[in-house]
A = this chain, B = another copy of it.
Amino acid sequence: MDLGTDSFVRIQEEPLSVEAAVDFLGRGDPGGVDLFLGITRRMTGHKETVHLEYDAYLEMAVTELNHIVANAAKSWPLERVYVAHRIGTVPVGQISVIVGASAKHRNEAFAASRYLIDTLKSEVPIWKKETYADGSTEWKPELAVHEPTRRSVGK
> Which of A's residues lie within 8 Å of B, judged by CB?
18-19, 22, 26, 29-39, 41-43, 93, 95, 102, 104, 106, 109-110, 113-114, 117
A82 to B154, CA, bound (A): 56
Identical copies in the complex: 2
Main secondary structure of the interface of A (DSSP, over half): mixed
**Chain B residues in 8 Å Cβ range of A37:** 22, 26, 32-35
Contact A41 B31, beta carbon cutoff 8 Å: yes
Min Cβ gap A45→B in Å is: 10
Contact B32 A33, beta carbon cutoff 8 Å: no
A117 to B105, CA, bound (A): 12
Contact A104 B22, beta carbon cutoff 8 Å: no
The residue of chain B having its C-beta at the shortest distance from the C-beta of A1 within the complex is: B43
Min Cβ gap A42→B in Å is: 5
> Which of B18, B32, B93, B104 is in CB contact (< 8 Å) with A36?
B32
